[in-house]
Amino acid sequence: MRPPPDTLDSSPWMPFETRKRARDEKRVALLRTAVRLFLEEGYHRTPLSKVAERLNITKMALYNYFGSKEEILAELFRLGSEQYEAGFAAVERMQGDGLTKLRHLIRAYVVIVTADFGMCFARIDDRELSEETRLAVRHAKRRYDSAFRTLIREGVEDGSIRPCEPKLAAFIIIGALNGVADWYRADGPLSVETLADEFALRLTEGYAMPQPQRARA
């Protein structure tokens, strides 16, 4: 039996680009749902069946996008790392003395660590990952530590930051920033921008060289 004339040129399948876009959108939705559940309830206490339930799909349908819960976590770490890298790269391109750039770096870190992927990177234990992925994550974290140390060292050299041990100062600052991931809530009284500004000031005020001395440096 021949189909009606007006359907001869139609197809029940979507074009490839449309299918790919739809798949990508579903994959992102899966990741955003998973990261929120991991952060709310804990990685171990969140079975994939719960992620699937929140998405209103079957657990088997979820496996079309990721082969395991660890694979989802590895991707979340990768996305979080990309956000930190982009923020750090933008600061490194800026002009200014070490103190100015350090404050910009702190602001960038606060913005990222209060977002889902960046918060996941800071809060969830990377020992949940395979050795190869865990090593990649820890390499990225050492890169962040190095970025802070470099700017602190630059500030000491250009006179904008008091003489100090860059390694210890970076440890103190990063520790305080990572703590934000544990207590920040999007529905809290302070905006991310306010938090970023406050942390940039408060975490550096003890290291900042007094203005008259900076002017003579």
Asked whether residue 10 is assigned to any structural domain, the reply reads no
Asked whether residue 1 is assigned to any structural domain, the reply reads no
Token couple for 87 = 């923020």
- Which of the listed residues 41, 67, 93 is the one where a domain comes to its end? 67
Distances (CA, A) of 164 to 5, 100, 169, 203: 81, 17, 7, 14
Asked whether residue 5 is assigned to any structural domain, the reply reads no
Asked whether residue 40 is assigned to any structural domain, the reply reads yes
Residue matched to tokens 């799909």:
57
**109 and 192 both lie in a single domain:** yes
- Which of the listed residues 32, 51, 67 is the one where a domain comes to its end? 67
Q: What is the CATH number of the domain that holds 195?
A: 1.10.357.10
In the 8-state DSSP scheme, what is residue 58? -
Residue matched to tokens 């952060």:
39
- Which of the listed residues 67, 91, 110 is the one where a domain comes to its end? 67
Asked whether residue 4 is assigned to any structural domain, the reply reads no
> What pTM did the predictor assign?
0.83
**132 and 104 both lie in a single domain:** yes
Look up the domain containing 109 and give its range. 70-216
State residue 216's pLDDT score: 45
Q: What is the pLDDT along the chain (217 residues), one digit of tens a residue?
A: 555 555 555 556 566 566 567 778 999 999 999 999 999 999 999 999 999 999 999 999 999 999 999 999 999 999 999 999 999 999 989 999 999 999 999 999 999 999 999 999 999 888 878 888 889 888 888 888 999 999 999 999 999 999 999 999 999 999 999 999 999 988 889 899 999 999 999 999 999 998 765 544 4
State residue 217's pLDDT score: 42
Asked whether residue 7 is assigned to any structural domain, the reply reads no
Say if CB 37 and CB 78 are below 8 A apart: no
